[in-house]
Structure 1
Amino acid sequence: MINLPSGVDINNLIDDIRILSWQVADILLYYTKLLEDSNDKKNILKNNNEDDPVTLADLKVNEMIIKRINEKYKNINWDILSEENVKTSNNFVTKNDWVWVLDPLDGTKDFIQGTGNYAMHLALNFKQKPYIGFVLIPDKNQLWISDGKKTWCEKRNGTKYKPNFSNNKNLQEMTLVTSKNHGNETLRNLIQKINFCKVEIMGSIGCKIASIVRGDSDIYICLSLPGKSSPKDWDFAAPESILKAAGGAITNIDNQELTYGLTSFQQGGIIIATNNRKTHESICLEIKKIIEKNGIYPL
């Protein structure tokens, strides 16, 4: 049994983040409308980095979430790790067991491109493992919530529904969801060798993991090349919390849990997420054998 920091009630906390999340949705949907105008687009883009763009929406949401948490929960023994804050000041250090991990806008490229495949991630990690998590997908009117024990989805009007897994498929019967803007030739080669039943292309790790929890897909593979950029803690913390509490699993290819709080915040190598924790290890092993047999990736 994990106890939240003194003075924090889990039901009140979820209520507070729920309200905050729909306010975030309003901000993100507002800026998606503005991005349709090329003149507004120039003002919304805050840097010229095509590989890692930052928008005014990222900054607004980041500022609001951190401010609200700090105002509502004064003197609570936790810290907030945010992607945007690390970009401007890479000196985050904490000795606290409890750390919020925030990505105000996961899938910024898709956000700019207008695909709707973007999300807000917010997780509360305990001892470097995701515990409570929120994945907000404004374009789908979905807020995925994990309280550490179970996962559910809410619409803005309060309607709730549960995860929907289609289990007991073998690897070739599965639908893979994979990256739209962060793919590479090595991953494409692996996908081709596995010969999945179906491949869905989608931006945002949060959107991809939510698609598994919804039952639209079965598996996600993230493959980062050595020496190249990798996803970070804020990309995976909240999605991991909703997937695991729903009965799925997410590990590296050796079936080892992800480690958070490393100095670089990197989540490198090969990461596999599936909809069934019972068969997850065998799926990882099967993929590993395919990689080794075909010399696809240095393991």
Structure 2
Amino acid sequence: MIKLPSGIELQNLIDNLRILSWEASEKLTYYAQIVKDSNGKRNILRNDNFEDPVTLADISVNEIVINKINQLYKDVNWKILSEENVKSGPYNPNINQDWVWILDPLDGTKDFIQGTTNYAMHLALNYKKRPLIGIVLIPERDELWFAVGCELWCENRNGVRIKPKPLKRKSLQEMSLVTSKNHGNTTLNKLIKKINFKEVIIMGSIGCKIASIVRRDSDIYICLSLPGMSSPKDWDFAAPEAILKASGGNITTLDNKDLIYGKSNFEQGGIIVASNNINNHKNICSEIEEIIREGDLFPL
């Protein structure tokens, strides 16, 4: 049994998270239909920054989740770190306290605007800066992934649970890589070519990528943030990390260290590797590191 703040009953919390997740799913699919109309697409945009867009879907789901948590648990000593609240102005949720919710109401906003199915909602509860509970909601697949400690399951809107396929140990060259659609990175592309993966799958949303690994549709994801460029943030990785680790996979920095949450800039920079098998993960990271060194691809 995992530890929760005083007065919180686990099953009740899970039930409430399930309700708010499907409410968020309805809102996301509602706006997804609007996006299919070119005029509707313009109407839901709330900024002019194509590299970091914000839509009505982001804002609406942000309000749904935060309001629901605050209403249901108004006396609980936890804080909420949300991507949209950070974007909207100075925001300090006291990330150094023990319990912090980490929310990305719409991961894969660019893909969402482009009308693809690769978008997700992330919600994680971190305890002492480590993900304890994680939710990755993928509306277009009717998938709600739950990780509670070491326990993992996926359910659809009707409550039917979906079981992932068994784990397989694979060499680096036997793996299928899932990589980004909207984040061009010449250094990462060079690395991908040198490794010569069995297959390269293009997909938006980190949550969708990690879920594809958990689902066994792919095997590995590599995130490489170039110096001076923008990096993923805590809300991109906290919930996906929870479901991946609960599935038997792992996600670390290239030197096989756990991701560190709660830094002042919320950034997850450098090279991050997510793979399908924790028992093989360290060797995979070492092999990738050696390829990077031999090719002098990235400062290590």
Q: How much does 1:93 deviate?
A: 4.1
Aligned residue for 1:64?
64
TM-score, length basis structure 2: 0.98
Return the TM-score normalized by structure 1. Answer: 0.98
- The 8 Å contact of residues 107 and 207 in structure 2, kept in 1 or not, is answered as yes
1:207-228: per-residue Cα shift (whole Å, max 9, x none)? 0000000000000000000110
The question of whether the paired residues in 1 share the 8 Å contact of 2:248 and 2:277 is answered with yes
How far does residue 165 in structure 1 lie from its aligned partner after superposition?
4.3
Deviations 1:173-222 (A, max 9, x none): 00000011113000000000000000000000000000000000000000
Q: Distance in 1 between matches of 2:69 and 2:9?
A: 14
- Kept after mapping to 2: 8 A contact 1:223/1:268: yes
What's the Cα RMSD here?
Answer: 1.0
Query: How much does 1:166 deviate?
Result: 4.0
**Deviation sequence 1:251-293 (CA, Å, 0-9, x none):** 0000000000000000000000001001100000000000000
List per-residue Cα deviations over 1:67-124 (Å, max 9, x = no partner). Answer: 0000001110100000000011233141420000000000000001111100000000
Task: Measure the CA separation in 1 of the matches of 2:7 and 2:85.
Answer: 26
Match of 1:10 in 2: 10
* Aligned residues of 1:145 and 1:153 also touching (Cα < 8 A): yes
Is 1:174–2:175 an aligned residue pair? Answer: yes
* Structure 1 segment 1-299 matched on structure 2, within 5 A: 2-94=2-94, 95-299=96-300
Matched residues in 2 for 1:242 and 1:160: separation? 15
The list of structure 1 runs, each at least 4 consecutive aligned residues, that deviate by more than 3 angstroms after superposition, is: none
Residue 162 of structure 1 and its aligned partner are, at CA, apart by 2.2
Name the % identity.
64
Question: Is the partner of 1:152 in helix, strand or coil?
Answer: strand
* Contact 1:220/1:274 (8 A) holds in 2: yes
Alignment partners' CA distance in 2, 1:291 and 1:84: 35
Name the SS for the 1:26 alignment partner: helix
SS in 2 for 1:60: helix
- Identify if the C-alpha distance between structure 1 residues 10 and 184 changes in structure 2 by more than 3 Å, giving closer, same or farther: same
Secondary structure of 2:118's partner? coil
Quick one: distance in 1 between partners of 2:184 and 2:277?
24
Distance, in Å, in 2 between the alignment partners of 1:75 and 1:107 is 33
- Unaligned runs of 5+ residues in structure 2 are none
Deviations 1:135-154 (A, max 9, x none): 00000000000011211100
- The worse-fitting range, judged by mean Cα deviation, of 34-43 and 272-281 is 34-43
Given residue 133 of structure 2, which amino acid in structure 1 is its aligned partner?
Answer: I
- The amino acid that maps onto 1:234 is W
Q: Which stretches in structure 1 are left out of the alignment for 5+ residues? A: none
Which amino acid in the other structure matches residue 57 of structure 1?
A
Q: By how many angstroms is 1:163 displaced?
A: 2.4
Output the CA distance in 2 between the equivalents of 1:64 and 1:257.
31
> Does the 8 Å contact 2:80/2:102 carry over to 1?
yes
- The answer to whether the 8 Å contact 1:135/1:238 transfers is yes
Letter of the 2:4 counterpart = L
For the residue of structure 1 that corresponds to 2:81, the secondary structure is: strand
